[in-house]
Structure 1
Amino acid sequence: MWRELAPIGRDPGSRGYRRYAWTGADGDCRNWFRTQAADRGLRYEVDRNGNQWAWLGDPDAGNAVVTGSHLDSVPDGGAFDGPLGVVSSFAALDELRDRGAEFARPLAIANFGDEEGARFGLACVGSRLAAGQLTREQAHALVDADGVTLPQAMERAGYDPDAIGADPERLARIGAFVELHIEQGRALDLTDHPVGIASAIWPHGRWRFDFAGEANHAGTTRLADRRDPMLTYAATVLAARRAAEDAGAVATFGKVAVEPNGVNAIPSLVRGWLDSRAVDQGTLDAVVTAVEAAARERAGRDGVELAVVRESFTPVVDFPHALRDEIARILGGSGSGSGSDPGSDPGSVPVLGTGAGHDAGILSAAVPTAMLFVRNPTGVSHSPAEHAAEDDCVAGVRALADVLEGLACRSS
Structure 2
Amino acid sequence: MKEKGMSKYNVSIIVFFSMLYGLMSLTSCQSPQNTGKPAYSMFFMTTDERQFIWQTDQVDSGIIDPTKQGVILDRPARIWYYMLVQNGFYYFVDSKTEYLIKGKITDNQFLRLDSVYLEGFSYPDNACFLDDNQLLIVNHSVGRKKKSYAKIDVRDMQVHIGELAIEAPQGVFDNMSVGFVYRRESQLWMGYTYHYTNSKMGYGSADTVYVARFSYPDMKLLSVDKDARSTYPGNVNTAQQNTFEDEDGNFYFMSAPGIVRGANPKQPTAIYRIKKGENHLDSAYFYNISDSPIQNHAYGMWYLGDNKALVRSERKDLFNDYKEHYLLPHIEFYEIDLLDRAHVSKLDLPLDRGSSRTCVLLEDEIAYITINDGEGNNDVWLYRSKEQTLEKGLHIAGEIDYIFRIDRLYGE
TM-score of the two chains, using structure 1 as the length reference:
0.27
Higher helix proportion: 1
Question: Which has the greater radius of gyration?
Answer: 1
TM-score of the two chains, using structure 2 as the length reference:
0.27
